Structure 1
Amino acid sequence: MTGAPAVPAAYLALREDAQRVLEGWTAPDAGQERLRVELLAHCAEHPDALLKQGPPAHLTASALVLNRSLDKVLLTLHAKAGLWLQFGGHFEPGDESVLAAATREAREESGIVDLELHPELAHLDRHALRASGFGRCSEHLDLRYVGVTDDEAGYAVSEESLDVAWWPVDALPEASRNAIAPLAEAARRLLASSLLR
């Protein structure tokens, strides 16, 4: 597009990594496959697909943290959204990969500095941003990973959060249950299958 600003090389490399991740991922059901195809098409259409300053709909990376018995999730009360959600956010130029971005976000927002994520993608989501305070962002196309930590892990509340707390998987906060439950199910399925390998 003539006159469009050049996309920084770091974000072009991240877009290529996102495309590799999506192309190599086997979606568990038809809905996730549809999202996988949509996200790939979005990346193909928008060189700046991972830039916060890019198109109003852009890719993000996030992570759901579970305890070792896989019956609780560690969530953040997101300051802008006003909802209990998984950790995550926008890509930064220092991120070496989609997984690295999700790991950075999870560590920053949970305060668990040694948190490691499972290397495989767990879930995809596409959601409109209804709360104020997101600027020109109108939609997030989220690549979601999963991590595991001890119930006693020393977590902390970041500047982007109002609170951080453990929630039982079978008693998630009502306002965000529909958003978190499918991710928690996908995360537990991925982790359980990994343990069987």
Structure 2
Amino acid sequence: MAGTVSPHADAVATMTAWRPTDRTQEALRQAYLGFLSARPDACLRSCEAGHITASALVFDSTGTRVLLTLHPRVGRWLQLGGHCEPSDSTLAGAALREAIEESGIPDLRIDPVPLHVDVHPITCSLGLPTRHFDVRFAVRAPANAEPVRSAESLDLQWWPIDALPPDPDGVGGIEDMLAALR
């Protein structure tokens, strides 16, 4: 279809336009751009070298709590998110789709400017060791939103931002995402 944006083209545009203030985040932004330049398949989960993923740190309407999922494969409380799908045209759209699917909350609103990026090793759904180049977005839930756990989660819970679950080795990166907002 003429005029259709692909997740890859959007990832390049998003990473090109984004200007993080943190030097480490800027270095990662440059690495993402290099990876995207080298790999036209960077947004496909079949890209064994690693692939771009999109996640959403969902805040309640007051901004004082975040919605986290107890991830069944990682065994930790994490933000919502996952792989880009063929139906996704943008990274923000993929993050929003994942957030709605995994939270059961309609009418979520996403800030299309990345909040944070992270690269982490993982054994993905293909059963092979790979890396997720995760682009993270801030999402706001409507007032009185009640999440509904999906089959992709062991549990789903609102956490006060000043009383987050333990993350002893920083795998979740939620503190880093919150620091990016300050």
Could you state the TM-score of these two structures normalised by the residue count of structure 1? 0.83
**2:118 aligned with 1:138, yes or no?**
no
Q: Distance in 2 between matches of 1:162 and 1:145?
A: 22
Q: Structure 1: where are the runs of 5+ without partners? A: 1-11, 190-197
**2:150 aligned with 1:168, yes or no?**
no
Q: Aligned AA for 2:156?
A: V
How many residues get paired? 178
Larger radius of gyration: 1
Partner SS for 1:170: coil
Number of the residue aligned with 2:68: 75
RMSD: 2.2
Aligned counterpart for 2:99 among listed residues 106, 111, 115: 106
Partner SS for 1:175: coil
Change (3 A) 1:177 1:137: closer
Q: Structure 2: where are the runs of 5+ without partners? A: none
Q: Are the aligned partners of 2:60 and 2:145 in contact in 1 as well (CA < 8 Å)?
A: no
Q: Distance in 1 between matches of 2:158 and 2:91?
A: 25
Number of the residue aligned with 2:29: 36
Q: Are the aligned partners of 1:76 and 1:164 in contact in 2 as well (CA < 8 Å)?
A: yes
Q: Are the aligned partners of 1:65 and 1:149 in contact in 2 as well (CA < 8 Å)?
A: yes
Change (3 A) 1:136 1:45: same
Q: Are the aligned partners of 2:6 and 2:88 in contact in 1 as well (CA < 8 Å)?
A: no
Equivalent positions of 1:1-80 (< 5 A) are 13-80=6-73
Aligned-pair CA distance for 1:137: 4.5
Partner SS for 1:37: helix
Aligned counterpart for 2:81 among listed residues 88, 103, 124: 88
Q: Are the aligned partners of 1:48 and 1:55 in contact in 2 as well (CA < 8 Å)?
A: no
Aligned-pair CA distance for 1:71: 2.0
Quick one: percent identity of the two aligned structures?
Answer: 41
Q: Are the aligned partners of 1:14 and 1:50 in contact in 2 as well (CA < 8 Å)?
A: yes
Q: Distance in 1 between matches of 2:143 and 2:120?
A: 29
Q: Aligned AA for 1:67?
A: D
Aligned-pair CA distance for 1:128: 1.3
Q: Aligned AA for 2:97?
A: R
Q: Are the aligned partners of 1:78 and 1:162 in contact in 2 as well (CA < 8 Å)?
A: yes
Q: Are the aligned partners of 1:52 and 1:137 in contact in 2 as well (CA < 8 Å)?
A: no
More helix by share: 1
Aligned-pair CA distance for 1:124: 0.6
Aligned-pair CA distance for 1:113: 1.9
Q: Are the aligned partners of 1:63 and 1:102 in contact in 2 as well (CA < 8 Å)?
A: yes
